[in-house]
């Protein structure tokens, strides 16, 4: 049974930083691309960042480029999202997700078959 468990969310002031972690179990982690999505209240879930199985390819939502960095540690079956220069519009529940590696890093939610329960990130102004 695949499990993805996120942690690291919380309340932070504008301009602050947080690092989200997602530990995976029940899957061969190095065979999966990993992604972070977010869903703000009243809005649809959106892709934030993705990383290929080996870490060589990454993709980002335009509004987080230069502020967020996705990385992974395959021996630890963990994917991270370092978030700097946080803005109020970054407030959302953040989810990690796993997709079978397909070459390019997918940004499509339906390609991700396993999801975590989410962690709340709140940026106060």
Residue of 31, 17, 19, 34 whose CA lies nearest to 119: 19
pLDDT of residue 102: 81
pLDDT digits (tens, 9 = 90+) for 80-116: 999 999 999 999 999 999 999 988 899 999 999 999 9
| pLDDT tens digits, 8-65 | 999 999 999 999 999 999 999 999 999 999 999 999 999 999 999 999 999 999 999 9
- Collect all residues with Cβ–Cβ distance below 8 Å to 31 and sequence separation of at least 6: 53, 100, 101
């Amino acid at each position: 049974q695949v499990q993805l468990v996120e942690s690291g969310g919380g309340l932070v002031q504008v301009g602050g930083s947080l690092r989200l972690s997602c530990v995976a179990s029940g899957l061969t982690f190095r065979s999966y691309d990993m992604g972070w999505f977010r869903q703000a209240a009243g809005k649809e879930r959106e892709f934030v960042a993705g990383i290929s199985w080996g870490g060589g390819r990454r993709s980002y939502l335009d509004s987080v480029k230069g502020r967020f960095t996705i990385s992974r540690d395959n021996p630890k079956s963990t994917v991270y999202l370092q978030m700097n220069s946080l803005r109020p519009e970054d407030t959302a529940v953040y989810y990690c997700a796993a997709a079978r590696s397909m070459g390019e890093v997918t940004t499509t939610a339906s390609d991700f078959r396993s999801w975590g329960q989410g962690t709340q990130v709140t940026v106060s102004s």
